[in-house]
Structure 1
Amino acid sequence: MPVTLSVVSPMYDEREALDHFAARLRPVLDGLGVGYEVVAVDDGSTDGTVSRLLELRADWAQLRVVKLRRNVGHQAALAAGLRAASGAYVVSIDADLQDPPEVIGEMLAKARAEHLDVVYGVRGDRSADTVFKRRTAGLFYWLMRRMAGPWVSSQAGDFRLMSRPVVDTLNDLPEQRPVYRLVVPSLGFASGEVTYVRGERVAGATKYPLGKMVGLSLDGLTGFSAAPLRVATWLGMVTFVVCLSLIVSGLAAWGFGFTVPGWTSLYVAILLLGAVQLVCLGMLGEYVGRIYAATQNRPRFLVAFDTGDEAPASRPVTSGRA
């Protein structure tokens, strides 16, 4: 049976969740009545995730294991899965079961009935997340909508269904560090939404702590907006006005013969100017770093093996080149 649906799942140290994930995902896919494959991308796990995936594959022919040579991050692992997927429709889902596999059938039916290229899984209820997680996630989406554009959904993550034209477009993009939850809606393909209740992580710990969320936000901002550079420009203008006011006040004090202690104003001015300069240099550095990475054109990931191949490739599989 030809592959109609590919389910891509990036995994990093998800050994404890695998059995639960397979037990819920397989009946859903078997019941759809279409040819499917599950592309499990191991992102350099160290807890035996790969070995357990290979054991599951012995009894599940549709399971395909793609092992990366090292940990490259969630978005790059997702890119590897999208490049390996062969289905007419591709669903991306994490293995922690916070996004329910049972919604996949509804996504596929909606895409076919309404001729949609993208169906987003939108979290209608996040009560299973901690208050801190909900607040930081809300701040992230608010910032992305303000900086990247209003087309960014406020509660859509990486759980989505995409048609083959969308996946091919993503695979052809030259970006080195794409943030797919921003890239996909920016393409403008016909899209719809399916709401669901976000559940608790079935096992293990979150793979998106605060540090990685900050990094994802930074990648999203620098990849989709020049707003940080404009902030640097506005900071420079405000600093110029403040310094001009200090100069005028200093000249006025000198003209009227007042004795004004100079060390305080000088100290404040130096600190202000130094802080703004460092902030602006840091923002410029983020963009220069992305340009540097693009000119190097290094692969975002290297595949150690792919069980979907008849024989393991002798050369590394690369992605993300210009």
Structure 2
Amino acid sequence: MKRLTIIVPCYNEEAVLPSSLSQLTALLQQLIDQQAVAPTSRLLFVDDGSRDQTWSLIASAQLNNQLVTGLQFSRNFGHQSALLAGLTVASQDADIMITIDADLQDDIQAIPKMIALSTQADVIYGVRDSRKTDTWFKRWSATMFYSLMHGLGVEMVPNAADFRLMSKRAVLALLDLPERNMFLRGMVPLVGFPTQKVFYDRKPRTAGETKYPLRKMIAFAVDGITSFSTVPLRLIMNLGIFVVFIGVVLMIYSLIRKFTGQVVAGWSSLMVSMWVLGGVQLIALSVLGEYVSKVFKEVKRRPRFIIQTDTYSQQKPNETSNSTTA
């Protein structure tokens, strides 16, 4: 039987964590009882520097539930870093790893299906069957994002977030990628290996607040685009050529108006230099700055996360086995 670790990133999730702990424990115990996974399988909750009682709840659960383990960051490093930390630690002894958000909007009943398919593929993507629980704007923006990423040549699985199963060899291959700018939705497909999909209906959030408001969603999209594609840089050159063409046309138009006596003093210079060229320069500098900032982060080689407390590594598999079979 394969040893499973379910990795759950948490950030200020005290409102949903009691329910998540209960549901995931029941599911994992059921899988163990059915001999679908090894008795040494575990839950791994990664506290991403929460400011509420998230870690206290995880630490308390570990006292009474030997299936539960946890990682606590020294500060907030971000959702993608929390996922990566969980995969890094779990890959020490797990055969298969599943990542799922703490709010459990992703259907945990898809997990047994993923495990059943793990004999056929190294990566099993959880894919939303529909986006009917989303607002119109979120459905539209998601469609535009996936279309844009596809157009830029970035390989992604539409409507698949971070709910996925990965084999140990797939995780180890992912961990060999040295990037500090983490965008796992684009990095996992780079690993290759056979893949499968499990479709499910996403549930509405039962408590707490979303950790991805519009501002963070836009930043996440920009990070994904600039981490995987140089097309925006080429677009700057094309835009520059286009602006030069427009400038020449406006110059000819201005000369015609001057010779016909219809020119207004200063109109041409304002139109061409201030508005058109100024706007293009700001856009170009912003795009270039985004790429330079990524190079800046990469060359510093700072750690992607710092673990303050690790109860997963402290807990030996045979200890888990004794407690879960009791």
TM norm structure 1: 0.90
| Among 168, 182, 190, the residue aligned to 1:186 | 190
Amino acid of the structure 1 residue aligned with 2:69? R
Counterpart secondary structure, 1:153: coil
> What letter corresponds to residue 281 of structure 1 in structure 2?
L
In structure 2, what is the equivalent of residue 94 of structure 1? Answer: 101
1:137 positional shift: 2.2
- Which residue of 2 is the match for residue 174 of structure 1? 178
Give the aligned partner of residue 60 of structure 2: 55
| Conservation of the 8 A alpha-carbon contact between 1:11 and 1:40 | yes
Q: CA deviation at 1:173?
A: 1.1
Structure-1 separation of matches of 2:257 and 2:60 = 82
1:259, CA displacement in angstroms?
Answer: 5.1
Q: Which residue of 2 aligns with 1:29?
A: 28
- Aligned pairs for 1:279-290 within 5 A: 279-290=283-294
Residues 1:216 and 2:220 are matched in the alignment? yes
Q: Distance in 2 between matches of 1:198 and 1:310?
A: 34
Map of 2:322 onto structure 1: none
Q: Which residue of 1 aligns with 2:320?
A: none
Counterpart for residue 269 of structure 1: 272
Q: Matches of 2:96 and 2:61 in 1, distance apart?
A: 23
Offset, 1:130: 2.7
Q: Distance in 1 between matches of 2:27 and 2:271?
A: 64
Alpha-carbon distance, 1:285 to partner: 0.5
CA deviation after TM superposition for structure 1 residue 258, in Å: 4.0
Distance 1:309 1:165, change over 3 A: closer
Structure 1 runs not aligned, ≥5 long:
312-322
The answer (yes or no) to whether the contact 1:20–1:202 under 8 Å persists in 2 is: no
**Helix, strand or coil for the counterpart of 1:31?**
helix
How far the C-alpha of 1:253 sits from its partner, in A, is 5.2
Contact 1:39 1:84 in 2 (8 A): no
Q: 1:22 to 1:81 in 2, by over 3 A?
A: same
SS of residue matched to 1:79: helix
Deviates more, 1:56-65 or 1:9-18: 56-65
Of 145, 149, 165 in structure 2, the residue corresponding to residue 144 of structure 1 is 149
| Structure 1 segment 22-171 matched on structure 2, within 5 A | 22-32=21-31, 33=35, 34-35=37-38, 36-86=41-91, 87-112=94-119, 114=120, 116-149=121-154, 151-171=155-175
Aligned amino acid, residue 28 of structure 2: L
- Measured after TM superposition, the shift of residue 278 of structure 1 is 0.8
- TM-score normalized with structure 2 length: 0.89
1:320 maps to none
SS in 2 for 1:102: helix
C-alpha distance in 2 between matches for 1:75 and 1:174? 14
CA distance in 2 between counterparts of 1:98 and 1:246 reads 54
CA contact (8 A) 1:176 1:300 kept: yes
**Which letter maps to 1:174?**
P
User: For residues 257 and 52 of structure 1, what CA distance do their matches in structure 2 show?
Assistant: 79
Kindly provide the amino acid, as one letter, of the partner of residue 127 in structure 1. Answer: K
Q: Percent identity?
A: 39
Matched, 1:236 2:240: yes
Cα pair distance change 1:3/1:303, threshold 3 Å: farther
Q: Structure 2: how far apart are the matches of 1:62 and 1:123?
A: 28
Kindly indicate whether residue 17 of structure 2 is the aligned counterpart of residue 10 of structure 1.
Answer: no
In the alignment, the residues of structure 1 paired with residue 153 and residue 8 of structure 2 have an alpha-carbon distance, to the nearest angstrom, of 26
8 Å CA contact retained: 1:118, 1:160:
yes
Deviations 1:197-216 (A, max 9, x none): 00011210100111111111
Alpha-carbon separation, structure 2, partners of 1:280 and 1:17: 43
Number of residue equivalences: 306
1:226 pairs with 2:225: no
SS at match of 1:28: helix
**Structure 2 partner of 1:314:** none
Q: Deviations over 1:108-159 (max 9, x none)?
A: 10121x2x0111000002222233332222222222222243x422211100
Where structure 2 has 5 or more consecutive residues not aligned to the other structure, the ranges are: 316-326
Q: 3-state DSSP class of the match of 1:38? A: strand
Q: 1:310 to 1:188 in 2, by over 3 A?
A: closer
CA contact (8 A) 2:129 2:201 kept: yes
